[in-house]
Amino acid sequence: MDFTCIKAFRCTICGNEVPQAEADETYVCPYDGGNYDVIYDYDKLREAIKKDGFGKEKDGMWRYLPLLPIQKGARLPPIVAGGTPLHHIPQNATEKLLGESGSKIDFYLKDEGRNPTGSLKDRASSLVAAKALHDKKPLVATASTGNAAAALSGICASLGLPCIIFVPAAAPPAKIAQLRSFGAYVFLVDGVYDDAFELCQECTKKFGWYCRSTGYNAYTSEGKKTVSFEICEQLAGYVLRGTAPEHPLAMGMCAEAARCIDMGVVELGGGAFSAPNWIAVSIGDGNIISGTWAGINDLYSLGLINRKPKLLGVQAEGSDYVYRALKTAKTPTEWDKLPAIDSATVADSIEANLPRDRVRACRAIMDSGGICLTVTDEEILKEIPTTGRETGVFVEPASACTIAGIKKALRQKLIPLSDSPMSMVAIMTGTGLKDIAAAQRAVTASKDEASSSAEGPKMERGTAIKIPISVKAVEDAVKGLPF
């Protein structure tokens, strides 16, 4: 990017604007601690894209380098985040997953578990690491519940850039193992995420380390916004596949073409984009949903989409700060000042007592005309095997939370449906391999072993049964199954 395309960094709370150099120094607004939005000159950006196109020679998220606050020629991580698949879920599978109302939805899963370290947060860490190298920072530190830490550790390892991680000691062992495997310096903090966050802030200030922490470093949401760019470009590929099969963006797409007929396609600089009606995502610290909305605003301001999707934000009942904030307050200052809560949920990656990007998360949902709701841990766990069974995508609890929220919104008729299908994208933020213990708990809670009968154990889809070494035992168990 040509940095002249950046007008300023603007505080989300007070609206104070500062130049990029000052924002890089303070991270957040010095007056009220508000997060910064990056304000672009969209006329300049559009002309630049019209002239040079998108980064055709770049892979993954770096295809959108012209829309990112990093200079051309910056050293980029050799392992590439982004470029994850957008799965179009067939109608029969959508109905099984979402219920009868699923017949009215043209449904897609954005599978972020396919990123290098298994989560969407690789996008944020990639941009932050590139920025750190460009600014000649010797070390990067972050606080995390696990996914952001794994992302930073892996990306930094690929660049030979040291990183220090502050993570709650109770984080899933699989996530901690990732950090150690990538060679990070790991502090297991005897406390919750918010304790790890505060300790990281104190140490980065004291020792002069570069801080990547989510909801503090403005570049994290700028990296995450690339998920919206991909969603809209891939969605256009589905539309074009149904209308112009010879188009290059229509090639290589899985499943059938889109059923939704109201998705217009806009083309510019070798890219084609189309916006869904809804985007659904779970909320923890608020940075993913704020980044998603930032990407949508970029595309809309550039004229690359002709509408903005509504956002469905889903929180665990045990960690529902944003839900409470939207119920009780209406302004950024009010959202910012609400006290911390005591959070607890099986979905550890969206557990936060005081979400660090709470203001922008609330603003994104409100500005989009969307909704926020909560689901129970039991509902979350139930959707891990259900999502896997119906879509073939293995998700961690935070992603299952999104599916549970969509089902609840449809059940309670919070999402209006019509005779024509509407398009909806659910962002699956991380792979189920991140938290095998939760997946084991989920399948055990549903049906770990089929009940025995006088004829012996019977198989059902998703069950595991013990049998003797006997072909007859297998024959008896599969009797009546549809194959």
Task: Report d(CA 383, CA 461) in Å as an integer.
Answer: 15
Q: Does pLDDT of 3 surpass 80?
A: no
Global pTM exceeds 0.85? yes
pLDDT of residue 256: 56
Q: Please choose, from the candidates 222, 200, 56, the residue with its C-alpha nearest in 3D space to the C-alpha of residue 126.
A: 222
Q: What is the pLDDT of residues 326-361, one digit of tens each?
A: 999 999 999 999 999 999 999 999 999 999 999 999
Block residue for tokens 């604007």 = 17
221, 291 in Cβ contact below 8 A?
Answer: yes
pLDDT digits (tens, 9 = 90+) for 48-96: 999 888 877 689 999 999 999 998 788 999 999 999 999 999 999 999 9
User: Taking residues 11-31, what's their average pLDDT?
Assistant: 96
pLDDT band for 129, please (50, 70, 90 cuts): very high
> Which one, of 381, 248, 268, lies nearest residue 317 by Cα?
381
Burial of residue 46 (CB within 10 Å: 0-12, 13-18, 19+) is: middle
- Residue range 349-375: mean pLDDT, rounded: 97
Q: Is the pLDDT of residue 450 over 60?
A: no
**Short-list 238, 219, 197, CA closest to 88:** 238
CA angle, 188 as apex, 184 and 194 as ends, to 5°?
Answer: 110
Percent of the chain with pLDDT over 70: 92
**CA-to-CA dists, residue 301 to 11, 199, 292, 293, 296, angstroms:** 19, 38, 14, 12, 9
Average pLDDT (20-24) is 95
pLDDT score, position 448: 47
**CATH value of 86-118+222-438 in 3.50.50.60, 3.40.50.1100, 3.40.50.2300, 3.30.450.20:** 3.40.50.1100
Give pLDDT tens digits for 202-246.
Answer: 999 999 999 999 889 999 999 999 999 999 999 998 888 766 545
Q: How far apart are CA 126 and CA 129, in angstroms?
A: 5
Choice between 420 and 395, residue whose per-residue pLDDT is larger = 395
Average pLDDT, whole number, for the chain?
90
